[in-house]
Structure 1
């Protein structure tokens, strides 16, 4: 099959599916958010969301449009090693809940940046908020790219037109709905995504000869012998151990710092509800993530054995292309609606995080006397502003839409995660250490990335650099080292002794862990801090050594 322009021959099918889903989401958003009168209503839905709805919303927010489009393109490029990356991604919400989500929930924090403000002070929180706005914008960028590609496939219109039309419609929907609308819609979107991804995938597997088509997430395995004939090297782990290890600081630790994921913990009605939501999250995400890998697997099989030619420029459209080839067009239209649902859900989380960061963590912190009405208004303005910026950045996108998302993971892991993890679990962490770690680590990660200074990279390996793996492997341990060492040293300077880690900070750490009394020995291990510094130093040195791919 020759390379071609992949789009619906009857765009009315796609238009009808998109209009129907948008109408549903707008109505749900309006009804859900019409009673939002406070910033707590706007950003955490009044902390009243039940476990099933919240679990579905967590999964929907985390999956993103990249699950439908960009991830399968990366499987085309990486083949089986991508499954290692995928495992790291699914750990996010459980780790957030276990490591610090429960603690911050006890504290009554709206966001991780709220915790940073209480733990390290205003200056540290503003710096962290600025970095997190960049993280959220980069994450939103990938969704905007996917939305434009989906509209391009539906209507056959240029990428730029699809970006502007689709982007503005979505920004309006999110601004209207707030967190209550986003959460209820995200739960609906998760159901739509699961059905519109897994059911059509079963039909595709049946068409290419897979006997396990009736449950694609696991039973694609029956196609393994055929895959080995078509592409003998598919299951080879062709990269070095260093490449696989680099996924941990870039994605696992990076996910711990993503603000739009952590915000989902605070929407729960109770700590028990938040833990139950985590179980639902893991179940539904595992189901759809497994199906996503199966889609990439089938895509590679089709390109190797079925004569389908997909150019690098169209790699992000793999899921849509397989449906165009093997399924009726009305099915593809529904799949496109599901893909847009995925983009809507994650963009909701990203833009609401931007709104909270800009209005609550920066403006309201600097001007605490603002009225509640003005704070809510600022939130809506910030959400809209963040959406417009992500549209503008998507005008000149990276080669693969998932690249900007994975890069955002790394930046969050460098600038946000160390401050939260050490702030929750080590009393000696102080504001000078936190600011040093965030600023120096964040700038280091940006400098060695291929997006700002493309001539300064660690490896010269495009995929590794673009995903932020090489930069995060260096900058994340450097950030931890700076936070620990600077805090430890400054706490022992006579002029600063007792001022950087006051008794109130020690009491805060004890309180968020559920203790009623304060004991000096708790969460104050010098040995643990020393081991962490030594381990991080070894990893940072390993990161700057040559990468043998």
Structure 2
């Protein structure tokens, strides 16, 4: 098979598309910024975003540039088993809403860390905010890398040039708009990226002879028989049960603690609106994800029928490669505009979360009485600096940052998710236990990954690179450690100050909507111990050789 270099030749066309995209996004951001007059406006858009707009924004923020690039590359590599991985991702927003999003919405939280402060105190807040900022930076770096690669194809400029020029423009646009700009831009960007992904793919399928070309997300099925002849292994689920089970802690529990997703729930004007936003989210994201899987399917099909090998370095660009090969250049330019929109929507959420975590949560610990105007200015600075750091790190990123978004899920599932879920649903959650379990499990995940101490890595290949094998060990470890340390510490008189107080217990009742406080609710130690025992067993299983 031959290898080909991919890019469009009409640089003026590419430049025009980029300029038009950013003019529109900056205009929306600037108009939205005029509404930003206080902290609530900056981080949660004054809690005024309607359900349909919020659903589009949730889907857009969650989809990210990975849908156009990294995801399709993984489908090329994993083929059919990728569907199982994707299902776990898609569960995260509904689970955020069901498990704690609407509960924290009642307490007017800006980020999940706002709840951590009320529930566990200042030290735990600083610990969890540091983890969240690290996770958001890794997320942002993944977007910056992808945007630079997309602009390479569109403009023909070197990676470093596109990275720094586009990076500075992007950071400015995000900083100006705040959450109002992020919400309205994300809704618009979701429409752009969905049309840019699906419509051109229909044209490609038609050229391939597919009768289902008019709706790629579902109707590429008429190509299945040909695929089985060309790539007989495509639909093989060639992994063991342990591999598929590992997707749950890595990609279901992991994203639940992501602050930029939870913040979308907090922008809703009411609990009912937040729940309806999830319905819209599911529909919009399902359409986009179905289209993206069709891209991966057709990418494999394309290599087989054309005899062309897509180099490993270009695998992330498969969506654009298909359009460069089959469609006119102006269509490819529109597709890349969709990719840019996808990256920007997620960067919006990442950088706003960094701003909120810094100015609202960490600053709230050390300077609780600071003036709101000054707090908002510091938030803008944090947003800008977070963007600049992500650009600098993306200049010469370590190899693992290509999959940094997925790897970050493992850190989040180990260090953040247990603190939130147990804090919301179990009154006996102990403050010191929360801190210890977060630090131990979070650093353990980093150590057993392939990127720090390769000699003791759990699992191998893509399973380890994506954090799946590490998460199967450390996520249940975090839950078990938290539960059993809480049960022990709550019974040690010398550690009484770390035990849940009457205010902590009252908080748990109030966020669940109870008008009174009753210690019989959410206090069962029996079920907590049972969960802890199950988690110990899973963690041991995860530690065993893969």
Q: Which residue of 1 aligns with 2:209?
A: 209
Give 1:109 deviation, angstroms.
1.0
Distance across 1 between alignment mates of 2:534 and 2:210: 46
Give 1:400 deviation, angstroms.
7.6
Q: Which residue of 2 aligns with 1:470?
A: 469
1:458 and 2:470 matched: no
Contact 1:14 1:337 in 2 (8 A): no
Further displaced range: 368-377 or 213-222: 368-377
The aligned length equals 546
* Compared CA separation, residues 238 and 76, structure 1 to 2 (3 A): same
Q: Which residue of 1 aligns with 2:346?
A: 346
Q: Which residue of 2 aligns with 1:539?
A: 538
1:38 and 2:52 matched: no
Q: Which residue of 2 aligns with 1:494?
A: 493
Q: Which residue of 1 aligns with 2:443?
A: 443
* Compared CA separation, residues 453 and 34, structure 1 to 2 (3 A): farther
Further displaced range: 339-348 or 37-46: 37-46
Q: Which residue of 1 aligns with 2:518?
A: 519
Q: Which residue of 1 aligns with 2:365?
A: 365
Q: How does 1:125-144 map to 2 (within 5 A)?
A: 125-144=125-144
Distance across 2 between alignment mates of 1:142 and 1:333: 21
Distance across 2 between alignment mates of 1:401 and 1:231: 30
Give 1:243 deviation, angstroms.
0.8
Q: Which residue of 1 aligns with 2:98?
A: 98
Q: Which residue of 1 aligns with 2:303?
A: 303
| Structure 2 SS opposite 1:492 | coil
Give 1:411 deviation, angstroms.
0.9
Distance across 2 between alignment mates of 1:306 and 1:427: 61
Q: Which residue of 2 aligns with 1:196?
A: 196
Distance across 2 between alignment mates of 1:106 and 1:189: 29
Contact 1:189 1:341 in 2 (8 A): yes
Give 1:351 deviation, angstroms.
0.5
Contact 1:112 1:259 in 2 (8 A): yes
Give 1:496 deviation, angstroms.
3.3
Q: Which residue of 2 aligns with 1:82?
A: 82
* Compared CA separation, residues 28 and 462, structure 1 to 2 (3 A): same
Q: How does 1:501-516 map to 2 (within 5 A)?
A: 501-516=500-515
Contact 1:425 1:509 in 2 (8 A): yes
1:419 and 2:419 matched: yes
1:120 and 2:106 matched: no
1:293 and 2:293 matched: yes
Contact 2:138 2:401 in 1 (8 A): no
Q: Which residue of 1 aligns with 2:186?
A: 186
Q: Which residue of 1 aligns with 2:228?
A: 228
Contact 1:66 1:401 in 2 (8 A): no
Over residues 195-232 of structure 1, what are the superposed CA-to-partner deviations in whole Å (9 max), with x where a residue is unaligned? 00000111111112211110100011111000000100
| Structure 2 SS opposite 1:394 | helix
| Structure 1 SS opposite 2:427 | coil
Q: How does 1:225-374 map to 2 (within 5 A)?
A: 225-374=225-374
Further displaced range: 14-23 or 313-322: 14-23
Over residues 505-525 of structure 1, what are the superposed CA-to-partner deviations in whole Å (9 max), with x where a residue is unaligned? 111111111111222221011
Q: Which residue of 2 aligns with 1:52?
A: 52
Give 1:401 deviation, angstroms.
6.3
Distance across 1 between alignment mates of 2:454 and 2:203: 42
Distance across 1 between alignment mates of 2:275 and 2:348: 22
| Structure 2 SS opposite 1:495 | helix
Distance across 2 between alignment mates of 1:267 and 1:491: 36
Over residues 27-61 of structure 1, what are the superposed CA-to-partner deviations in whole Å (9 max), with x where a residue is unaligned? 00010112312111100000011111110000000
Further displaced range: 391-400 or 48-57: 391-400
* Compared CA separation, residues 400 and 81, structure 1 to 2 (3 A): farther
Distance across 1 between alignment mates of 2:300 and 2:323: 14
Distance across 2 between alignment mates of 1:522 and 1:197: 48
Distance across 2 between alignment mates of 1:349 and 1:233: 38
Over residues 406-461 of structure 1, what are the superposed CA-to-partner deviations in whole Å (9 max), with x where a residue is unaligned? 011111111111001000000000210110111101110111122333343112x2
Distance across 2 between alignment mates of 1:281 and 1:498: 42
Distance across 1 between alignment mates of 2:496 and 2:365: 27
Distance across 2 between alignment mates of 1:378 and 1:458: 41
Further displaced range: 25-34 or 511-520: 511-520
Q: Which residue of 1 aligns with 2:395?
A: 395
Distance across 2 between alignment mates of 1:401 and 1:300: 25
Q: Which residue of 1 aligns with 2:110?
A: 110
RMSD: 1.2
Distance across 2 between alignment mates of 1:13 and 1:239: 44
Contact 2:433 2:481 in 1 (8 A): yes
Distance across 2 between alignment mates of 1:155 and 1:519: 63
Q: Which runs of 5+ in 1 are unaligned?
A: none
Distance across 1 between alignment mates of 2:256 and 2:121: 21
* Compared CA separation, residues 388 and 240, structure 1 to 2 (3 A): same
Contact 1:42 1:178 in 2 (8 A): yes
Q: Which runs of 5+ in 2 are unaligned?
A: none
Over residues 509-548 of structure 1, what are the superposed CA-to-partner deviations in whole Å (9 max), with x where a residue is unaligned? 111111112222210111211111111111111111111x
Contact 2:445 2:474 in 1 (8 A): yes
